[in-house]
Chain A
């Protein structure tokens, strides 16, 4: 049988076929149809309600009746700068910065190894190992850390076995980072946060390092740069977008969390707890809204600074 005599069935003209024809010819219509539902969700339900809530920060609360006075005022926003409130902001940003720095330091070598040296099998194991902690309950992990950090806990016991009990004591005696035990100190809080958010730093840094072409590293060496210089002048700048992406996760997740500080750390409030108490028991929605603005502003500032220092030059 020759090709000419081969009979194909004619495709049937149906309504689906005609719809396809229209969509193929009008790519814009297709894009619109695909985007309208998610845009409605993000635009109205998500961003809309967020802005309605944040908008409350220009109102104030009547001290006596506890009712919201719906007249525009800057009083509520200025209240953020009262020492007690501003301390909450500083404390939270400090913890978030420490967590981000620690996550970066821990994540970089791991991500570097996975991106540049690990074979396919090791890499699969790497992904599993990084992701697995995310599969167990957040609360279980936090309470687990409370036990680890407690005065009679595993970390104290291990430090004792290694003869480091004195060092631990000295650390806990330090102002700010110290405390009666690790589980009620900022150190403990930062360690727990670092554990919780580490995967969110490793994965973007690893992805960024994986995109650094190996021949750029060879080219830098070829031009006379020793490995340390290659790292500083080529690898690090090219990995920066990944570090910033990871930092966005670790920073904002820490800024918004209100459960870890309740279980581990000092009795002083952080932003999340402040918002939680203000909108709940205190019923002070305007101030809660004002506090909620802080992480958004902090993140905006962070991204601006990152951009200024050229973190996105490699994008």
Chain B
């Protein structure tokens, strides 16, 4: 998949044919991307897909073996991290253990030569922004994981970066805290109007927070676009399987279900389980299948069924739908437009 045509404004970050190899491992294998100023850009992919290396290339911790990287129009190849107007929130926060919370936040100002009074004031403001007012004198070790996360955020934001890089910043938090931080991060990003580049392997996180998502696999971007587009119309088998779950259909199967004769994806929640006496809906393909497996997941039930043709389909039906058990014969309806053709293989 190619990057979209460059937008009229200077991109916050632009990659052009960027490669980064570690020995025989092609960590980043020809990436083109363009991040719009003020956008929340998620880089989503499994571990080893190259998303973190891309982030490190922007930060300057890695240098590309080939290709070009620009930050707001400035070529940055060869520039060390301390000469780049981007800042990073590290996965495990990387707070300085020998400095207090206030000193941690003021660190970037201190190395820029900002005077003590001024930097203490700015650090206090930054801490207040992440709801940690009054914590200046604590040590990082005295804070909870969520609080450390906020200190790391304040420390990176206080030096007014042009782009904020976040490397799986919520990975170490528990579910509830993670959801809270997700909306806070999103709110901060909107309020500051700053480009956030957010690396994650959690597709839910990427879909819910990002303006655009780039899906990485094996060192390449396989699809980039708004969350709805990536979810609704996965470009490849990989995206269909990694972003949510999907039934991947061969061309003949897709055609039989009302799609084009192309490799296609079908989201489980699009499939409707018809009640025993319900009439066949018009415009939908109906399949009769035997239930192989049923699992209850709270909001939905996942039903895996096998049709006479040998086709396996997984449907996510409302948990309130009539209970079915393995061995039952059911009718599944696939509405028009639910079968989405995929472009590539990868």
A221 vs B94: C-alpha distance in the bound complex, in angstroms?
12
CB of B97 closer than 8 Å to a CB of A: yes
Q: Does the CB pair A215–B94 fall under 8 Å? A: yes
Q: Does the CB pair B94–A219 fall under 8 Å? A: yes
CB of B155 closer than 8 Å to a CB of A: yes
CB of B146 closer than 8 Å to a CB of A: no
Q: Does the CB pair A218–B94 fall under 8 Å? A: yes
Q: Which residue of B lies closest to A223 (CB)?
A: B108
Q: Does the CB pair A215–B92 fall under 8 Å? A: yes
CB distance from A296 to the nearest CB of B (A): 29
A216 vs B87: C-alpha distance in the bound complex, in angstroms?
13
Query: In the complex, which residues of chain A have a beta carbon less than 8 angstroms from the beta carbon of B107?
Result: 220, 223, 225, 233
A-contact 0/1 string along B65-97, CB 8 Å cutoff: 000000000000000111000111010101011
CB of B111 closer than 8 Å to a CB of A: yes
Q: Does the CB pair B96–A221 fall under 8 Å? A: no
B-contact 0/1 string along A213-257, CB 8 Å cutoff: 101101111111110010001100110000000000000000000
CB distance from A315 to the nearest CB of B (A): 9
B residues whose Cβ falls under 8 Å from a Cβ of A: 59-61, 80-82, 86-88, 90, 92, 94, 96-98, 107-108, 110-112, 155-156, 159
Counting chain B CB atoms within 10 Å of each CB, the highest count among A213, A219, A234 belongs to: A219
Q: Does the CB pair B97–A223 fall under 8 Å? A: no
Report which of A223, A313, A314 forms a contact with B87, defined as CB distance below 8 A.
A223
Q: Which residue of A lies closest to B111 (CB)?
A: A225
Q: Does the CB pair A313–B81 fall under 8 Å? A: no
Query: In the complex, which residues of chain A have a beta carbon less than 8 angstroms from the beta carbon of B90?
Result: 215, 218-219
CB distance from B109 to the nearest CB of A (A): 9
Query: In the complex, which residues of chain A have a beta carbon less than 8 angstroms from the beta carbon of B159?
Result: 223-224
Counting chain B CB atoms within 10 Å of each CB, the highest count among A215, A219, A223, A229 belongs to: A223
A122 vs B96: C-alpha distance in the bound complex, in angstroms?
29
Q: Which residue of B lies closest to A232 (CB)?
A: B111
Report which of B60, B111, B156 forms a contact with A233, defined as CB distance below 8 A.
B111
Q: Does the CB pair A237–B59 fall under 8 Å? A: no
Q: Does the CB pair B80–A221 fall under 8 Å? A: yes
Q: Which residue of B lies closest to A215 (CB)?
A: B94
Query: In the complex, which residues of chain B have a beta carbon less than 8 angstroms from the beta carbon of A224?
Result: 82, 108, 111-112, 159
With A238-B98, A314-B98 known as contacts, the answer to whether A226 contacts B82 (CB < 8 A) is yes
Q: Does the CB pair B96–A222 fall under 8 Å? A: no
Query: In the complex, which residues of chain B have a beta carbon less than 8 angstroms from the beta carbon of A234?
Result: 96
CB distance from B3 to the nearest CB of A (A): 26
CB distance from A10 to the nearest CB of B (A): 42
CB distance from A94 to the nearest CB of B (A): 31
Q: Which residue of B lies closest to A212 (CB)?
A: B97
A63 vs B282: C-alpha distance in the bound complex, in angstroms?
122
Q: Which residue of B lies closest to A218 (CB)?
A: B61
CB distance from A224 to the nearest CB of B (A): 5
A233 vs B88: C-alpha distance in the bound complex, in angstroms?
19
With A215-B90, A229-B111 known as contacts, the answer to whether A221 contacts B98 (CB < 8 A) is no
Counting chain A CB atoms within 10 Å of each CB, the highest count among B86, B110, B111 belongs to: B111
Q: Does the CB pair A221–B82 fall under 8 Å? A: yes
Q: Does the CB pair A238–B111 fall under 8 Å? A: no
A234 vs B108: C-alpha distance in the bound complex, in angstroms?
12
CB distance from A299 to the nearest CB of B (A): 24
A216 vs B104: C-alpha distance in the bound complex, in angstroms?
11
Query: In the complex, which residues of chain A have a beta carbon less than 8 angstroms from the beta carbon of B92?
Result: 215
A4 vs B92: C-alpha distance in the bound complex, in angstroms?
47
A72 vs B5: C-alpha distance in the bound complex, in angstroms?
94
Query: In the complex, which residues of chain A have a beta carbon less than 8 angstroms from the beta carbon of B156?
Result: 222-223
Q: Which residue of B lies closest to A214 (CB)?
A: B94
Q: Does the CB pair A314–B97 fall under 8 Å? A: yes
Query: In the complex, which residues of chain A have a beta carbon less than 8 angstroms from the beta carbon of B94?
Result: 213, 215-216, 218-219
The 5 closest A-B pairs by CB, nearest first: A223-B108, A219-B94, A225-B111, A314-B98, A221-B81
A218 vs B87: C-alpha distance in the bound complex, in angstroms?
11
CB distance from B327 to the nearest CB of A (A): 27
A219 vs B86: C-alpha distance in the bound complex, in angstroms?
12
Q: Does the CB pair A225–B82 fall under 8 Å? A: yes
Q: Does the CB pair A222–B81 fall under 8 Å? A: yes
With A238-B97, A238-B98, A314-B98 known as contacts, the answer to whether A218 contacts B81 (CB < 8 A) is yes
Report which of B61, B80, B111 forms a contact with A223, defined as CB distance below 8 A.
B111
CB distance from B52 to the nearest CB of A (A): 12
CB distance from B42 to the nearest CB of A (A): 20
Q: Does the CB pair B155–A223 fall under 8 Å? A: yes
CB distance from B49 to the nearest CB of A (A): 20
Query: In the complex, which residues of chain A have a beta carbon less than 8 angstroms from the beta carbon of B59?
Result: 218, 222
A225 vs B110: C-alpha distance in the bound complex, in angstroms?
9
Given contacts A219-B96, A225-B107, A233-B110, 20 further A-B contacts (CB under 8 A): A213-B94, A215-B90, A215-B94, A218-B81, A221-B61, A221-B80, A221-B81, A222-B59, A222-B60, A222-B61, A222-B82, A222-B86, A223-B87, A223-B111, A223-B159, A224-B108, A224-B112, A229-B111, A238-B97, A238-B98
A216 vs B92: C-alpha distance in the bound complex, in angstroms?
10
CB distance from A90 to the nearest CB of B (A): 34
A160 vs B94: C-alpha distance in the bound complex, in angstroms?
52
Query: In the complex, which residues of chain A have a beta carbon less than 8 angstroms from the beta carbon of B112?
Result: 224
Query: In the complex, which residues of chain B have a beta carbon less than 8 angstroms from the beta carbon of A216?
Result: 94, 96
A226 vs B159: C-alpha distance in the bound complex, in angstroms?
15
